[in-house]
Amino acid sequence: MVTRIGGYRRKTRYKFKKKRKFKGKLSLKRFLQAFKNGNKVVLNFDSAYQGGMYHHRFHGKTGTIDGKIGRCYNVKIRDGKKEKTLIVHPVHLRKVD
């Protein structure tokens, strides 16, 4: 078998880049935000916090909250015809109004 080169953050230099305005410390508001089951959320990386990250192919997708595991949330998304469950930290989630 071929040896795999790179990890889950491979080829994400521009995708994870923050705008100049948002660089620096993490926002406590985003870090401590709470969600309820059934809330719609958008998966949006905060590259300053690596914990609770998902694979970059799901960046920008919309999903629904399905539960909580520790500090992270279960998020159900559609990937083609399949329904997948991701475990995501609230720093990487944004509420859909």
The structural domains of the chain, with segments of one domain joined by +, span 34-95
**Where does 34-95 sit in CATH, by number?**
2.30.30.70
CB 15 within 8 A of CB 65: no
A 10 A CB-CB count for 62 gives: 13
One-letter amino acid of 50 = Q
Give pLDDT tens digits along the chain (97 positions): 888 888 888 888 888 888 898 888 888 999 999 999 999 999 998 988 989 899 999 999 999 999 999 999 999 999 999 999 999 999 999 999 7
What pTM did the predictor assign?
Answer: 0.87
Residues 67 and 51: their CA atoms lie apart, in Å, by 18
d(CA 1, CA 25): 42
Distance CA(58)–CA(44), nearest Å, equals 9
